[in-house]
Each structure stands twice: as C-alpha cells, then as structure tokens.
Amino acid sequence: MKKKHITKALDGVWQTGGEALTAIMKERGLNQKQLAARVSGIGQSEISRFCSGTRDMNERHRNALAKALTCDPEDLEDGALKLSPNDLLLKKIVRELPEKLKPEAIFLLGALLKK
C-alpha cells in the first residue's frame, strides 16, 4: 500500500493526488461510479484505488479525470494544495479569463484575500 505523505505548507496543507481527487469529486457532487461513467478506460474500482492511495495516477489518468471533472490535471497530483470550495471557484474563474487579464486578476484577488 502506498504511504500517504501530507506536509504542512506556510499557507495551507499539501495533499496526495487521491485526496485531491476525492475532494474534487465531492465538490462536483459525484461518486466513484458516476465519475467512472464519464471517463473512458478508467473503472470505478480503479478510481477507488486512486482515492485510497493504493494506486498512483499517471499522466493519462490525471488528464482523463481532470477533463471529466473540469479541473486542471495538476490539481490531481501529489502535493496539490488543499483548497476550500471558494478557492476552487476563484481558481476556475481565473482559469477562464483571457491570458492577458490573468496576472492582474491574480494580483487583485491576492490583495483582497489578504484583507
């Protein structure tokens, strides 16, 4: 069994890919079976192993799951920062902005969140 490593960061808690997958599924209101139905080539039992940490996701898995969950593949990597639902929403909003507006939006959001 893969050992879970969680390291405290200055501004949050880092998590395993399986924990990130579980959190994003919960945020989207999906269970393992529902997610498996959205992803070609990844079954419910494999998703269960990813969530429990007994199997690592490779790049193909992360890309397919991220597409089904409408998130970034790096959100499913080991070491992803644990984000609140509000933080996930802000990240999604910024991701959908035109590239030229992103730096200013990130700066402004950072300033607002520090207040």
| Alpha carbons 87 and 70: distance in angstroms, whole number | 15
Q: Which of 50, 53, 84 is nearest to 64 (CA)?
A: 50
Residue 13 phi, psi (nearest 5): -120, 130
Q: Is the pTM of this model over 0.75?
A: no
Report CA torsion sign: 71, 73, 77, 81.
negative
Token pair for residue 23?
């959190």
Tens digit of each residue's pLDDT (9 = 90 or more) over 47-90? 999 999 899 999 999 999 999 999 889 889 877 666 666 776 77
Alpha helix (H) residue ranges in 1-115: 17-28, 32-38, 44-52, 59-69, 85-96, 102-114
Better-scored residue on pLDDT, 6 or 68: 68
